[in-house]
Chain A
Amino acid sequence: MDAYLIKSYDDVVGARHLVRAQTKEMGFGLVDQTRLTTVASELTRNILLYAGEGKMILDQVINGTETSLKIDFIDEGPGIPDVELAMKDGYTSGEGLGNGLPGSKRLVDEFRIVSEPGKGTRITVIKWLPAGG
């Protein structure tokens, strides 16, 4: 469970590769690989945009017969003052359409944000590996 540092846009590309490789290795189908890699791209980019730097942590979680990939996106940036507002489609405080958060939520099974203004933000996404072949 290593932390991958996000400090530049090259790291966003690196994060994509890391997630692509991990999801492939875990046996996720191509569409799920693409979903998760896209989420990694969105959220690491957000880290850069809003906090300047942060980290991404991948974790394979095995719960009995169920396996999932858990990814944490952590920064010590300004935090999100109104998480509920930020999760609405179309809201943005930075450049762009603000599709990052609500869009990413739709691509995964579980999505959690913990954020404290002035302290930072931690976004956790989880995707379960479909059972069976």
Chain B
Amino acid sequence: MEKIPILKFGDTLIVTIQTELHDRTAIALQEDIIGAVQKHNSRAVIIDVSSIEIVDSFIGRMLSNTAEMASMMNASVVLVGISPAVAITLVELGLNLGDVRTALDLESAIEMVGSGVLVSHDQTKPESVPEETAGNAS
């Protein structure tokens, strides 16, 4: 069984799915992605699905589960390359990809990640406590 390569690009992982996604490949990939997120402390995972012609409920679930698991580890998932046909089919199937972000191409996805637009669920900035200043100008 071929393993799908996961590339590291700073704190982003990039996964390009180019082969037909057999069920066991999909499950293995899910585990590999989560493992890689943990190992590299990644903040984002870009999954290029432009070569996937069919996203059925199994694959759809795998993608949304991966996104949910990654989000628990403070990483966001961006799907790149959902074709119009796949998008239509997914909606009609009733599959909800939930919080998974999408981008039209790899460049946009990298931009999305880099500009900090993606904020993971658990990320909260420590609130700065305003210093009490003595003697405000009145």
Q: Which residues of A contact B (CB under 8 A)?
A: 9-10, 12-13, 16, 20, 30-31, 33-35, 37-38, 41-42, 45, 89, 96-97, 99-100, 102-104, 106-107
Contact = CB atoms under 8 A, between A and B. Distances in A.
B52 to A, nearest CB: 11
Interface of B: 20, 22-24, 53-58, 61, 83-86, 88-89, 92-95
Given A31-B88, A31-B89, A97-B61, A103 B95 contact: yes
Given A42-B93, A102-B94, A103-B94, 9 more contacts: A9-B22, A31-B84, A34-B83, A34-B88, A38-B55, A41-B54, A41-B56, A99-B57, A103-B57
Nearest to B90: A38
Contacts of A35: 88-89, 92
Contacts of A20: 53
A20 B85 CA distance: 13
Given A37-B53, A97-B57, A99-B95, A107 B89 contact: yes
B97 to A, nearest CB: 12
The main secondary structure of chain B at its interface with chain A is: helix
B92 A45 contact: no
A13 B25 CA distance: 12
Nearest to B57: A99
Nearest to B96: A97
Contacts of A103: 57, 92-95
Contacts of B20: 13
A16 B24 contact: no
Closest 6 CB pairs of A and B: A103-B93, A34-B85, A41-B56, A99-B57, A31-B85, A106-B92
A103 B84 CA distance: 18
Nearest to B85: A34
16 contacts: A12-B23, A16-B54, A20-B53, A30-B85, A34-B53, A35-B92, A38-B56, A41-B54, A41-B56, A41-B58, A42-B57, A96-B57, A99-B93, A100-B57, A102-B94, A106-B92
